[in-house]
Amino acid sequence: MILLSEMESKTVDLVLTDPPYGMDFQSNHRKEKHKKITGDDNLDWLPKWKDDAHLYIWCSWHKVDVFKIELERHFKIKNIIVWAKNGGGMGDLKGGYGGRHEFCFFINKGKDLNGSRGTDVIDKAYRTGNVYHPTQKPENLMAYFIEKSTNVGDLVLDCFSGSGTTAIACHQTKRKFIGSELDEDFYNVSKKRIDEVMAQTMLF
């Protein structure tokens, strides 16, 4: 990651990112399909985390073992948070159970969480519909993590910013944001979303 290598250490208060899951993901649920995610069959980015901060790293169950082994080379994992999503995944409609969860690794190197203690299962009504990105996360779910791990004015890093959801959540919670996205189409989508949110805020 060029972005990480160029950043000074201990400048980021939170890393909140939804990286490639390493499973060459292509959703077959939507009639109008998203294109495949750039780098989704590549986990080479994993060993390159350097900052001492709270880290939230999303992962599908398909590669949770790979993520866990690689992350534990560098960090002590505090929790694996389970997001219990509404609805069920498509997949094998007859031979398997419908998937309705995703995992998020939480890594904490001694920094307290804000507010009351949460649980490692989140089952509130967070939903996106994946309008802008095939693995899009809800803005209010990202805002929940941001507010648990940072204060107003803190800096949040998302190395795989996708459609810009984390950036929008940072803007809504008054945090600073740094992000990067390899895919030009998703970058343009995120820029448009962020510009619209900031323009709307300026109106009020």
pLDDT digits (tens, 9 = 90+) for 123-164: 876 766 667 666 788 899 999 999 999 999 999 999 888 889
Tally Cβ neighbours within 10 Å of residue 197: 17
Percent of the chain with pLDDT over 70: 71
Identify the CATH number of the domain defined by range 2-203.
3.40.50.150
pLDDT digits (tens, 9 = 90+) for 19-52: 876 644 344 444 444 444 454 455 565 544 555 6
Q: DSSP for 38-71?
A: TTTT--TTGGG----SEEEEEE-GGGHHHHHHHH
Nearest Cα residue to 83 out of 25, 124, 114:
124
Give the pLDDT of residue 30. 42
For residues 105 and 112, give the distance between their C-alpha atoms in angstroms, rounded to a whole number.
Answer: 16
* Sheet of strand 155-158, all strands in order from the earlier edge strand to the far edge: 121-122, 77-84, 101-107, 54-59, 14-17, 155-158, 176-179
pTM above 0.85, yes or no: no
For residues 204 and 196, give the distance between their C-alpha atoms in angstroms, rounded to a whole number.
Answer: 13
For residues 83 and 30, give the distance between their C-alpha atoms in angstroms, rounded to a whole number.
Answer: 22
Structure tokens at 48: 């390159």
Give the pLDDT of residue 66. 86
pLDDT band at 86 (very low <50, low <70, confident <90, very high): confident
Q: What is the mean pLDDT of residues 78-96?
A: 80
Give the pLDDT of residue 178. 92
Angle, alpha carbons 126-83-167 (nearest 5°): 60
Domain boundaries, the chain: 2-203
Structure tokens at 102: 């995703």
Percent of the chain with pLDDT over 90: 33
Decide which of 30 and 108 is more confident: 108
Q: What is the mean pLDDT of residues 104-120?
A: 92
How far is Cα of residue 172 from the mean position of the Cα atoms in its chain?
Answer: 16
Give the pLDDT of residue 12. 87
Residue 200 has pLDDT above 50, yes or no: yes
